[in-house]
Amino acid sequence: MKIKLVVTHPRQDSLTFAVMNRFIEGLKENHHEIDILDLYHDGFDPLYSVEDERDWQNPSKQHAPVIRKELDRVLAADAIVFIFPVWWYNVPSMLKAYLDKVWNMGLLNKANSKKALWIALAGGTEASFHKYDYYNMISNYLNNGIAGYAGLQESRVEFLYETISESKTHIEGLLEQAYQIGRHYK
């Protein structure tokens, strides 16, 4: 399977990147092809301009070549995986900009055979995410509001909780969880 992986974190020495690396190790056991976009370090420009705006009256509008290239990378994949920290109970602004610019351009009705996986690193506990309904709020937003609206065949969110824990054992458990998600991803 061809996987487009989008990672979002300003620090490459972060837990987000460690999770990505373990997830990739799991994917490689199934011989998946992986195309990685590091939004911070690959030069993605998050500024949204008039040229980026979708023109509903002109569906053949030409967009910036860099955005067209990124959309083509998404369309060439069988699955799109996002790995990111949860900030303010949402995706980081850089990932939101990516979705606004790339997915806005015309993913609708072209991605119905694709699936999405969102690996969300949450500082809070699983209990607090359920108590305050953050789990459902974020899952609904990503699975229905983003992936569903874009017409993806399948979308699911995997949360890794308590990512700010100082327990080495807990962090190792999160990395193992990421590895297992990758290993079993089909």
What integer is the mean pLDDT of 111-135? Answer: 94
Could you give the dihedral angle defined by the CA atoms of residues 12, 18, 19 and 20, in that order, rounded to the nearest 10 degrees?
60
Domains of the chain: 2-183 (3.40.50.360)
Could you tell me the pLDDT band of residue 54, with boundaries at 50, 70 and 90?
Answer: confident
On whether the CB atoms of residues 8 and 40 are closer than 8 A, the answer is yes
pLDDT for 41 equals 97
Asked if pLDDT for residue 180 goes beyond 90, the answer is: yes
Residues 96-109 have pLDDT tens digits of 999 988 887 666 66
What integer is the mean pLDDT of 124-130? Answer: 97
| CA pair distance 155, 164, nearest whole angstrom | 26
Which pTM does this prediction carry?
A: 0.94
| CA pair distance 6, 37, nearest whole angstrom | 5
